[in-house]
A = this chain, B = another copy of it.
Amino acid sequence: MDCAIFGFQDNELRLLLVKRAIDPFKDQWMLPGGIMEEGHTLEESVNNVLFNLTGIHDVHQEQVKAYSRVDRHPVKRVLTVCFYALIKPENHPVIAKNYVSDVQWYSFSKLPGLGFDHDQLALDALHKLRGNLDQNLIFGELLPDKFTLKELQDLYESILDETLDRRNFRKKILQSGLVIPTNEKKVGVKGGPELYRIKK
């Protein structure tokens, strides 16, 4: 399994990549991935893999799809199922472990070329994420507990890669009833914007 871990930092959608320390694709960046374990589901296994490579643990994984091209691994036959997850980078400090020499958050718009067929997996994961955007307020995993509507809009714009009308966005989000005001204002930012939180 492989997983596309998305984060949101400095107003940009980011993707967690690992640098591989062994052949094939030594020193190339790619999605964290590894092999399945007996007695565990794919979701459990991918979480274990993620922990073993980056120290991140217990995140909700959403399935993207399975890949089975015969030559997708240059040495042996490897199928993979790709997942994506959304996390707050500040809650999940990362460290390189095992056969990984480096771990970095890359701005999704400035990804390096990835090893294996991971360029494809990353793209498919983003499309899946976009498709899921309106269904469930998954962004809860990407933002702090309390956030301004501007922060939420920046997140949407990063994921969708398009600009949104501020008034219409605000209207749509508030009408959905899925976020509610906390009656607190964010300090340190001009305008003193209201803080909101996800309604549970």
Contact = CB atoms under 8 A, between A and B. Distances in A.
Contact of A70 (B40, B65, B66, B79): B40
A38 B68 CA distance: 11
15 contacts: A36-B68, A36-B79, A38-B77, A39-B70, A39-B77, A40-B70, A41-B68, A42-B79, A63-B65, A63-B66, A65-B65, A65-B66, A66-B66, A66-B81, A81-B81
Contacts of A77: 38-39
Interface in A18-38: 36, 38
A43 interface: yes
Interface residues of A, number: 16
Q: How many copies does the complex hold?
A: 2
A110 to B, nearest CB: 30
A71 B21 CA distance: 36
A9 B36 CA distance: 41
Contacts of A42: 66, 68, 79
Contacts of A79: 36, 42
Interface of A: 36, 38-43, 63, 65-66, 68-70, 77, 79, 81
A7 to B, nearest CB: 25
A145 to B, nearest CB: 31
Nearest to A41: B68
A70 to B, nearest CB: 6
Nearest to A69: B41
A4 B3 CA distance: 27
Contacts of A70: 39-41
A41 B40 CA distance: 24
